[in-house]
A and B are shown apart, each in its own frame.
Chain A
Amino acid sequence: DTAVSQTPKYLVTQMGNDKSIKCEQNLGHDTMYWYKQDSKKFLKIMFSYNNKELIINETVPNRFSPKSPDKAHLNLHINSLELGDSAVYFCASSQGSLSNQPQHFGDGTRLSIL
Chain B
Amino acid sequence: AQSVTQLDSQVPVFEEAPVELRCNYSSSVSVYLFWYVQYPNQGLQLLLKYLSGSTLVESINGFEAEFNKSQTSFHLRKPSVHISDTAEYFCAVRPYSGAGSYQLTFGKGTKLSVIP
Contacts and interface: CB of A to CB of B under 8 A. Distances in A.
Interface of A: 4, 31, 33, 40-45, 48, 50, 55-56, 90, 92, 97, 99-100, 102-108
20 contacts: A41-B111, A42-B106, A43-B106, A45-B105, A55-B99, A56-B103, A92-B44, A99-B32, A99-B94, A99-B96, A99-B102, A100-B32, A100-B49, A100-B94, A100-B96, A102-B34, A102-B49, A105-B43, A108-B41, A108-B43
A108 B36 CA distance: 15
B59 to A, nearest CB: 12
B57 interface: no
A112 to B, nearest CB: 14
B90 interface: yes
A43 B90 contact: yes
Interface residues of B, number: 28
A48 B51 contact: no
Given A42-B108, A90-B44, A105-B43, A97 B102 contact: yes
Nearest to A55: B102
B43 A48 contact: no
A105 B103 contact: no
B80 interface: no
A97 B108 CA distance: 25
A102 B104 CA distance: 9
| Best-surrounded residue of B43, B96, B97 (most CB of chain A within 10 A) | B43
A107 B108 contact: no
Given A42-B108, A99-B32, A31 B43 contact: no
Given A48-B102, A105-B44, A106-B43, A100 B109 contact: no
